[in-house]
Amino acid sequence: MTISFIGHGYVGLVTAAVFADLGNTVWVVGRTKEKIETLKKGIATFYEPGLSELVKRNVDAGRLLFTLNYHEAVVPSEVIFITVGTPPKDNGEADLKEIFNAAKEIGKNLVGYKVVAVKSTVPPGTNKKVAAILDETKPTGSSFAIASVPEFLRQGQAIGDTMHPQRVVIGTTSDRAQKLLVDLHKPINTKIVVCNVETAELIKYAANSMLSVKISFANAMAFLSEKVGADVEKVLDGVGLDHRIGRSFLYPGVGYGGSCFPKDVKALIAIGKEYGYDFTLLKATDAINDEARLYFIEKIRNHFHGDLQGKTIAVLGLSFKPDTDDMRFAPSITIIEALIKEKARVVAYDPAAIPNAKKVLPKDVIFATSPYEAVKDADAVAVVTEWNEFRQLDMVKLAKGLKERVLFDGRNIYDPQTLKDLGYTYYGVGRM
């Protein structure tokens, strides 16, 4: 099949590269000349494990093509996926400007019959608006069907998630579009949920919100565990062994970040409000997520008796989660801003995110090239992202660099007793 993707962010570029790898001819439309030129050379524009190789292989094979021109991509394509960003507005609603703009451009270039499928996360009702725009802008004689095919990939595991998803959701009321989309997904051997457009739109928000609820539940249990003297990790082991609950996404820490959970939880609250439902469960989920960061900052502050002035804090991990250089809504931003505001000196290290971190963190932050360099003469070390390389640190060597052996483990990746035996003052999340 020949298909197109409008937008080459995480969802667009990864899915495009995977479908090209499965043997389709895939066009990707962008609007930044430099980025398109880079992609045409087979170079990925962001870090994601395995993506560079996948893009290069398919560009070299002539199956993955990039353009600034909608006409070039839309005309030969049977299916056009919209994979542009839907960032949150100040009131929490998703900003759909880019979606509608893409719809307009696709509409103007429509010939024959096309399926236009939205993959970006959009509130219920958006696809219908896309259909209205296509209707207004399309040349006479052309026709289309709309579909909602939400994406569930995780950054860091994006290629695996796209090649082997746990399900594919196809929301459309057109039999022809359904058949085409089911055919396109055939090589991806998984369960397909077929439903109407609004259901598919809601499934995406429901999935991300449910996972966020789990994380906030874990964080709430962590707050309580500390108060009652319990070990939250054991509490959640005990809870998670019940198959009806499971252990995944029950890891407390400094809260969820990234481009999806914070935005989608807020968006679903806003959708509820629009339709007259007060989504108190998600309001609490969002509030607990903020508390998780604040609580971590408070622990650091309390250790230093409320005075961080002149203290050096080594921060290990900046990206919102491991295996990505993405800093969007990363907990590290809130934590570091608070430390700097309280006049601490922050030396930060991350295996991949430093270039992006430099764009968003306060200018006073000093960046190190290794964890050991970061902790040199520091009064404490704070682990904010659970990169594997931090799990394997030589804690004796680390201790030698530190001025004070104080460790704030924002992801509970270390064994408290082992660190205490090495002379560290250890602060985990929800455990002693």
Please work out, in degrees rounded to the nearest 5, the angle formed at the alpha carbon of residue 384 by the alpha carbons of 378 and 387. 105
Q: Which is nearer to ligand UDX, 63 or 263 (CB)?
A: 263
Q: In whole angstroms, what is the distance from residue 390 CA to residue 410 CA?
A: 12
Q: Which is nearer to ligand UDX, 311 or 411 (CB)?
A: 411
**Residue 240: both structure tokens together:** 């998670």
Residues 223, 249, 367, 372: which binds ligand UDX (CB under 6 A)?
249
Closest distance of CB 177 from ligand UDX, Å: 22
C-alpha distances (whole Å) from 401 to each of 94, 314, 318, 347, 371 are 46, 11, 21, 13, 10
Binding region for ligand UDX (CB under 6 A) out of 20-28, 77-85, 256-264, 269-277:
256-264
CB neighbour burial string for 190-211, b if at least 16 within 10 angstroms, e if fewer: eeeeebebbebbbbbbebbbeb
Catalytic residue among 260, 270, 288, 384: 260
Instruction: Tell me: does residue 261 bind ligand UDX (CB under 6 A).
Output: yes
7 three-state secondary structure:
coil
Closest distance of CB 238 from ligand UDX, Å: 16
Instruction: Tell me: does residue 250 bind ligand UDX (CB under 6 A).
Output: yes
Q: Which amino acid is it at 94?
A: A
Closest C-alpha to 278, from 266, 270, 286, 287: 270
Q: In whole angstroms, what is the distance from residue 133 CA to residue 350 CA?
A: 44
51 three-state secondary structure:
helix
Q: Which is nearer to ligand UDX, 223 or 372 (CB)?
A: 223
Residues 66, 81, 217, 256: which binds ligand UDX (CB under 6 A)?
256
Instruction: Tell me: does residue 316 bind ligand UDX (CB under 6 A).
Output: no
Q: In whole angstroms, what is the distance from residue 255 CA to residue 293 CA?
A: 6
Residues 27, 47, 144, 251: which binds ligand UDX (CB under 6 A)?
251
Is residue 73 a contact partner of residue 106, using CB atoms and an 8 Å limit? no
Binding region for ligand UDX (CB under 6 A) out of 176-184, 225-233, 243-251, 418-426:
243-251
Instruction: Tell me: does residue 320 bind ligand UDX (CB under 6 A).
Output: yes
Q: Which is nearer to ligand UDX, 170 or 211 (CB)?
A: 211
Q: In whole angstroms, what is the distance from residue 223 CA to residue 252 CA?
A: 9
Instruction: Tell me: does residue 253 bind ligand UDX (CB under 6 A).
Output: yes
**Residue 341: both structure tokens together:** 């505001």
Instruction: Tell me: does residue 260 bind ligand UDX (CB under 6 A).
Output: yes
Instruction: Tell me: does residue 321 bind ligand UDX (CB under 6 A).
Output: yes
Q: Which is nearer to ligand UDX, 18 or 59 (CB)?
A: 18
State the chain's maximal CA–CA distance in angstroms.
76
Closest distance of CB 148 from ligand UDX, Å: 14
Let me know if 260 is a catalytic residue: yes
> HSE-up of 300 (CA within 13 Å, CB side)?
32
Count of residues that interact with ligand UDX, criterion CB under 6 A: 19
Binders of ligand UDX in range 138-167 (CB under 6 A): 151-155
Q: In whole angstroms, what is the distance from residue 272 CA to residue 267 CA?
A: 9
Closest distance of CB 267 from ligand UDX, Å: 13
Torsion sign across C-alpha atoms 52, 58, 61, 64: negative
Q: Which is nearer to ligand UDX, 154 or 358 (CB)?
A: 154
Closest distance of CB 152 from ligand UDX, Å: 4
Closest distance of CB 411 from ligand UDX, Å: 8
Please give the residue ranges that form the binding site for ligand UDX (CB under 6 A).
151-155, 208, 211, 215, 249-251, 253, 256-258, 260-261, 320-321
Q: State the catalytic residues.
A: 260
